[in-house]
Amino acid sequence: MRAALVRRSALAASVASLVLLATACGGSSDDSDGTSKAGDTSKSASAEPAQSDVEALTAAELEKVALAEGDVAGHKIAKAGAEDITKAADVTSDKAECLPFAHALFAVPQGKPVASTARTAMTESKAPDAGTSGDMTDEDIDAALDASMDVNFSLIDLASYEGGGAADVLAAVRKAAAACASGFTATVQGDAQKVSGITEAKVSGGEEAVAWAMLSEQDGTKMPFNLVVARQGSTVTTFTTYNMAAIMDPDVKLELPTAVVDAQVKKLS
């Protein structure tokens, strides 16, 4: 993931931590927790790919069906900014066969899409309410600060394709993942990142979907990531997710963004 994205989400989590600390020291808090998980809504990744006869969504249509604030309980949704977007020319791989997977991981639309758009999704902090008395113990404060960093950040890319282009894209990413399970090095805007431990995860969503868990290493720091690629009709959506707390604590498990995936697929259906 681009370093700028990691820094931005880390800043957001840090701000939440500072607010929590200030509250614990004598203020009040209005933070709420509304995280949710959605159940299976579609065929599994093992389902046979189907070439869709649905026309490719235009740019305007894609904007209407992309996630918006309020679509996913317990999440903050925003349109991706320029700092979130990576161009295809800025991503390379030391193994040519891994490039489709690298593009998906860094939310780069594959091939020649008719239109594309991107969103970001961040889970709301799970930190407990500090209350109004300001009498939290040091242990309570430490636990609350840890919880405030335990947020999932997802970069979501939607791209529409003509004919069977969407199914072809998903198949190409799946093939690249199988060929590169042992790992590869992706260079993104000049920053080299080692991707290793690519393992397939169970997921469902849309007409077909597949997911992987992996580790990304840059400058000696390892970070768990997961990637979900789902196709609904002529549109392919990728969801790249990481968790700030998981960088510091290996016991923090990075979950697939099930609620986000289900909400996006529902809007595309």
Q: Can you give the residue range of the structural domain that contains 260?
A: 37-126+151-268
Q: Which of 35, 47, 39 shows the shortest CA–CA distance to 232?
A: 47
* Residue 15 resides in a domain: no
* Residue 27 resides in a domain: no
Mention every residue, 6+ apart, whose C-beta is less than 8 A from residue 83. 4, 5, 8
Query: Which residues of the chain form beta strands (DSSP E)?
Result: 75-79, 91-93, 115-123, 152-160, 184-188, 191-201, 208-218, 221-232, 235-243
Q: Give me the number of domains the chain comprises.
A: 1
* Percent residues over pLDDT 90 in the chain: 64
Residue 52 maps to which CATH number?
3.40.1000.70
Predicted local distance difference test score (pLDDT) of residue 34: 37
| In the predicted structure, residue 22 carries a pLDDT above the cut 80 | no
* Tokens coding 188: 């993104």
Q: How many angstroms separate the CA atoms of 235 and 244, rounded?
A: 29
pLDDT digits (tens, 9 = 90+) for 177-229: 999 999 999 999 999 999 999 999 999 999 999 999 999 998 888 899 999 99
* Residue 5 resides in a domain: no
Summary mean pLDDT of the chain: 82
- Tokens 């594959």 sit at which residue? 110
* Residue 53 resides in a domain: yes
Mean pLDDT on 129-140: 58
Predicted local distance difference test score (pLDDT) of residue 36: 34
| In the predicted structure, residue 262 carries a pLDDT above the cut 90 | yes
Predicted local distance difference test score (pLDDT) of residue 1: 52
* Residue 241 resides in a domain: yes
* Contact criterion met (CB below 8 Å) for 236 and 242: no
Predicted local distance difference test score (pLDDT) of residue 60: 98
Predicted TM-score (pTM) of the model is 0.78
- Which one has a higher pLDDT value, 9 or 153? 153
pLDDT digits (tens, 9 = 90+) for 36-93: 333 333 344 444 444 546 799 999 999 999 999 999 999 999 999 999 999 999 999 9
Predicted local distance difference test score (pLDDT) of residue 24: 42
* Residue 19 resides in a domain: no
* Tokens coding 8: 């931005």
Lowest-confidence segment of 66-80, 119-133, 188-202, 244-258 by average pLDDT = 119-133
* Residue 58 resides in a domain: yes
* Residue 54 resides in a domain: yes
